[in-house]
Amino acid sequence: MDTFSIEKPLRYYNQVYNSIREMIVKGILKPGDSIFEARIARELNISRSPVREAVRALEKEGLLEIDEKSRITVYKPTMKDIEDIYQCRIVLESLAASLTTKLATKLELEEIEDTLIKSRGYLEDYCEQKKDRLIEENARFHDLILKFSQNRRLEKQLSDLKSLSHYYRVLNFQGENREWNVFFEHQEIFTQIVNRDYEKACIAMQNHMKNDLIHLKEIFGTSKPVLL
């Protein structure tokens, strides 16, 4: 008899977690919006337990906030928080780029390059529907550099910022030609990694992160950002 497999349905916790996270990142749930566990459970016709579990996970990741009166609200960015997050990312991800430059194998370099090839394809035939895919490849570029650094402690520290990093990554793609600017900066980082110049790879990553920070501060400083 041929072997076969079935996909198990996602647990209620995972479904609730994924739904709330997506609504926050895409701006359906706005910064400061209130979240009510009982209402979500009632609308989904499930118990409050998986909802509570999902809310606590999202609070831990920074996308939800719970005050002293147990009120749950969507994360509200501040200029100080943006600066704090990017200060951490600049230091940690530039170190990851340096380590990957020294340690990555040929096959691993090809895997990083694949993100650039796919990104260019989406950019050359760009439409709003491909924006999510482009953001995914952007995230994969950074994730692979971190992975190939072979430093699990470094990975763990950045994993704590993963959800908020993705939140700001979506915002960071606002602006004319912003997608191409990000792509060319990624290309420069990769060039230095392939050249095995760890100092220049480190600097290229720092510059990329700093440009992201400057762009985000401009968005927050000039107008209320709109998540798409």
* Same domain, yes or no: 94 and 115: yes
73: three-class secondary structure by DSSP? strand
Name the residue range of residue 60's domain: 12-74
* Same domain, yes or no: 92 and 205: yes
Domain CATH code at residue 109: 1.20.120.530
- What is the residue whose two structure tokens read 């459970």? 41
* Same domain, yes or no: 69 and 90: no
Domain boundary among 74, 91, 113: 74
83: three-class secondary structure by DSSP? helix
* Same domain, yes or no: 105 and 25: no
The predicted pLDDT at position 99 comes to 98
Number of domains in the chain: 2
* Same domain, yes or no: 180 and 202: yes
Domain assignment of residue 46, yes or no: yes
Domain assignment of residue 3, yes or no: no
The predicted pLDDT at position 2 comes to 47
**Cβ contacts of residue 213 below 8 Å, gap of 6+?**
82, 83, 86, 90
The predicted pLDDT at position 9 comes to 56
The predicted pLDDT at position 224 comes to 46
* Same domain, yes or no: 111 and 27: no
| Beta carbons of 68 and 203 less than 8 angstroms apart | no
Domain assignment of residue 212, yes or no: yes
Domain assignment of residue 170, yes or no: yes
Domain assignment of residue 169, yes or no: yes
* Same domain, yes or no: 53 and 93: no
Domain assignment of residue 167, yes or no: yes
Q: List per-residue pLDDT tens for the chain, 228 residues long.
A: 444 444 445 688 888 998 899 889 888 899 999 999 999 889 888 888 999 999 999 999 999 999 988 899 999 988 999 999 999 999 999 999 999 999 999 999 999 999 999 999 999 987 777 888 999 999 999 999 999 999 999 999 998 898 999 999 988 988 888 999 999 999 999 999 999 999 999 999 999 999 999 999 998 875 444 333
* Same domain, yes or no: 186 and 93: yes
Domain assignment of residue 7, yes or no: no
Instruction: Find the DSSP H helices in 160-197.
Output: 162-172, 178-194
Handedness of CA 23, 24, 26, 31 (dihedral sign): positive
**CA 28 – CA 227 distance, rounded (Å):** 8
End-to-end alpha carbon distance in the chain: 48
Domain assignment of residue 27, yes or no: yes
Helices (runs of H) and strands (runs of E) counted in the chain: 10, 3
The predicted pLDDT at position 10 comes to 64
The predicted pLDDT at position 43 comes to 86
The predicted pLDDT at position 228 comes to 31
**Token digits for 13?**
């916790």
**Token digits for 110?**
């090809």
**CA 132 – CA 115 distance, rounded (Å):** 14
**Token digits for 64?**
């939800």
Domain boundary among 32, 47, 74: 74
β 64-66/34-35 pair status = unpaired
Domain CATH code at residue 68: 1.10.10.10
